[in-house]
Amino acid sequence: MKGLSRSLRYFTLLAGEYIALSLVIATAGFLLYLLRSNGANPEAFPIMILFVLYLFLIIFSMGHYMIMTSLVIPFNCTRKSLFWGTQYMMLLIAGTICILLGTYFGLVTDVGLHGFFRLLPAIAGMFAASIGLGALLGGIILKFGRAAVIVMTVFSGILGGIFGFCCSAFSDAGIDTVFMTFFSENARWILLTGLAVLLSGGSINYIVLGKSAVTR
Amino acid sequence: MSTGKLICNDLVKKYGKKEILHGIDLELEPDRIYGLIGRNGAGKTTLLSTLTAQSPVTSGTVTYNGLPVWENQDALDHICFSRELNPLIGWGANSLKVKDYLKAASIFFPHWDKQLAERLVQDFELETKKKICKLSKGMMSMVTIIIALASKADMTFLDEPVAGLDVIARDAFYRELLSEYTETGRTFLISTHIIEEAEDLFEETIFLNDGRILLKESTQALLERAIHISGKAEDVDAATTGLAVYHPEKLGRSKAVTVLLQEGQCIADGYDLSSQPVNLQNLMVALCGPDSQHSVPDSQQNTPDVKTGGRKGR
């Protein structure tokens, strides 16, 4: 437990930095959104920002394992503590974003907290899926090393492409509202799918991480 | 003073199908400074990695004070392996600033000495706001030294700690190490290629050659029984008959060899020979160099002191 408590302490510090980074991304996204749309639609904004944050979490979670394995294991952190510390850090980041979003919904939008809670399972599910996908890709990187960087690059390109295409293709149809409706109508299923992705991605990562060696 | 022993039994490490370490048996006592010597690719870093659970073993066991070290926080809390930092890698731990790197170390090492770390940073004039990958090779070595010394771990392993350091910094490191050793009785195992400088530090020397422990012995005793002999080839051959002879060099009718005497042995009298003591560096060349072919009398093979290749059946 003492190893885990050190790990939690370190990852709490890191989480603070990454939450700050997420806020910068969200603020930049909000300003861009205001510039792009003729008059802000405060209810649609969170969905677009969330997508950016999901992408960020995938890439961040993936890169995190690459960095931390070569950093904290040489400092005698066990692989188990690294894994659980990472999950805890992701939970902190996702939790903080959800709290900030809830505050935003409650203070700025007409749907208020009631609308936010209707969306919350879907938002949480998407966070779980992002973290799980990041863990899966992180595991692939740990297992296959440099070759996995190519996978990472291709994957990032594909995700960015799909996201960009969707936004541009449906921009006239009000993509943000479409997403919002989809999220609220399928919240339960999105949550369950997200948890399944988190469980499978996390398990694969746990197995790979448990046998990984420090390389640097 | 530390009390635990680090013991590895029949340690085998493979990368893919290639076996790097071939059944290593090693026991590290508390309150010692060990030198780990071997050629590039001999398996030194791999051995240190597996001893400290930074790399999984293929087979065999590693224990500290009777506890397995793999994924065992109780054992790991007494161990520190300060790895050499690679200047060619710009990601991972190398992408951190020095201060963040030291901060992380201070959280994970339970006996971290913050004051010592801060003093060493000042002594080495290290720029803590710089990213590790932007440091010079010497400065990277300083970071690994600071981690190793400030960790206060009972068993501390250093891999090439003085690589890239100038002579003043190397001198400072040797003094710090000795002072730390005298004060705390920690065990240090230092892998280095700058043998001539460090040999006075080593109480025991471990020679690693081609993934096998060739020798593990008190440095003083080892150097006392190692002799470089030169003279006419026939005289040298006659005088060293029955002795463990390494690294024969011929120049015309002259010959020079390095001899490792066993207890009770001596060079035969009555020959016109020149004999000189051997330093650790020359002994390594004799034992591990490309011309290190040696003849060992049958009676001495596989004695505890001279492990000649060991485990050939593997």
Q: Based on the domain organization, do B205 and B233 belong to the same domain?
A: no
List the domain range (segments joined by +) for residue B252: 223-296
- pLDDT for the residue A100: 85
CB neighbour class for B161 (10 Å; exposed up to 12, middle 13-18, buried from 19)? buried
Domains identified in chain A, total number: 1
Q: Based on the domain organization, do B254 and B168 belong to the same domain?
A: no
Domain for residue A102, yes or no? yes
Among the partner-chain residues B52, B71, B77, the one whose CB lies closest to the CB of A79 is B71
DSSP B305: S
Number of other residues whose CB lies within 10 A of the CB of residue B196: 10
- pLDDT for the residue B313: 31
User: Does residue B21 belong to the interface with chain A, where contact is any CB pair within 8 Å?
Assistant: no
User: Does residue A216 belong to the interface with chain B, where contact is any CB pair within 8 Å?
Assistant: yes
- pLDDT for the residue A150: 76
Best of A143, A207, A216 to substitute, by most chain B Cβ atoms within 10 angstroms, is: A216
Q: Based on the domain organization, do B161 and B250 belong to the same domain?
A: no
Domain for residue B128, yes or no? yes
- Give rounded-to-5 percent helix, strand, coil for chain A: 85, 0, 15
CB hemisphere CA count around B82 (13 angstroms): 27
Tell me which chain A residues have a C-beta less than 8 angstroms from the C-beta of B97. Answer: none
Question: How close does chain B come to A127, measured CA to CA in Å?
Answer: 24
Q: Residue B78 in contact with residue B65, Cβ under 8 Å?
A: yes
Residues 6 or more apart from A206 whose CB is under 8 A from it? Answer: A83
List B217's β-bridge partners, or say none.
B205
Q: Based on the domain organization, do B78 and B108 belong to the same domain?
A: yes
Q: Taking CB atoms and an 8 Å limit, are A214 and B76 in contact across chains?
A: no
User: Does residue B95 belong to the interface with chain A, where contact is any CB pair within 8 Å?
Assistant: yes
Question: How close does chain A come to B75, measured CA to CA in Å?
Answer: 10
pLDDT in tens, B111-130: 999 999 999 999 988 999 99
Q: Taking CB atoms and an 8 Å limit, are B109 and A78 in contact across chains?
A: no
- pLDDT for the residue A156: 73
Local structure of B239: helix, strand or coil = helix
- What values do phi and psi take at B213, rounded to 5? -80, 115
CB neighbour class for B287 (10 Å; exposed up to 12, middle 13-18, buried from 19)? buried
Domain for residue A216, yes or no? no
Q: Based on the domain organization, do B206 and B228 belong to the same domain?
A: no
CA–CA separation, B145 and B35 (whole Å): 16
Supply the CATH number for residue B40's domain: 3.40.50.300
- pLDDT for the residue A41: 60
Question: How close does chain A come to B32, measured CA to CA in Å?
Answer: 22
Q: Based on the domain organization, do B203 and B65 belong to the same domain?
A: yes
Local structure of B25: helix, strand or coil = strand
Q: Taking CB atoms and an 8 Å limit, are A67 and B71 in contact across chains?
A: no
One digit per residue, the tens of pLDDT, for chain B of length 314 reads 567 899 999 999 998 889 999 999 999 999 999 999 998 888 999 999 999 999 999 999 999 999 999 999 999 999 999 888 876 666 667 778 899 999 999 999 999 999 999 999 999 889 999 988 888 889 999 999 999 999 999 999 999 898 888 899 899 999 999 999 999 989 999 998 888 888 888 999 999 988 999 889 999 988 888 888 888 888 888 888 888 888 888 888 888 888 888 877 777 777 788 888 888 888 888 888 776 656 655 544 443 343 333 333 32
Q: Based on the domain organization, do B132 and B253 belong to the same domain?
A: no
Q: Based on the domain organization, do B205 and B237 belong to the same domain?
A: no
Domain for residue B305, yes or no? no
CB hemisphere CA count around A88 (13 angstroms): 17
**Angle at CA of residue B129, ends B123 and B133, nearest 5°:** 95
Return the residue matching tokens 């710009």.
B90
Question: How close does chain A come to B55, measured CA to CA in Å?
Answer: 4
Q: Residue B208 in contact with residue B36, Cβ under 8 Å?
A: yes
- pLDDT for the residue B291: 66
Q: Based on the domain organization, do B55 and B136 belong to the same domain?
A: yes
Best of B20, B54, B111 to substitute, by most chain A Cβ atoms within 10 angstroms, is: B54
Q: Taking CB atoms and an 8 Å limit, are A3 and B73 in contact across chains?
A: yes
Domain for residue B1, yes or no? no
Q: Based on the domain organization, do B11 and B138 belong to the same domain?
A: yes
Best of A14, A60, A75 to substitute, by most chain B Cβ atoms within 10 angstroms, is: A75
Task: List, run by run, the mean pLDDT of 10-residue segments along chain A (216 residues).
Answer: 87 87 78 63 67 78 79 89 91 88 81 83 90 88 76 75 69 65 83 94 91 76
Domain for residue A215, yes or no? no
Question: How close does chain B come to A4, measured CA to CA in Å?
Answer: 9
Provide ipTM, 2 decimals.
Answer: 0.81
Using CB atoms and an 8 Å cut-off, which of residues 79-118 of chain A contact chain B?
79-81
Among the partner-chain residues A67, A76, A210, the one whose CB lies closest to the CB of B92 is A67
DSSP B154: S
Question: How close does chain B come to A138, measured CA to CA in Å?
Answer: 13
Q: Taking CB atoms and an 8 Å limit, are B93 and A66 in contact across chains?
A: no
Domains identified in chain B, total number: 2
- pLDDT for the residue B303: 39
- pLDDT for the residue B116: 94
Which residue in chain A has the smallest CA separation from B150? A75
- pLDDT for the residue B305: 40
- pLDDT for the residue A15: 87
Tell me which chain A residues have a C-beta less than 8 angstroms from the C-beta of B95. Answer: 67
Domain for residue A117, yes or no? yes
List the domain range (segments joined by +) for residue A16: 2-210
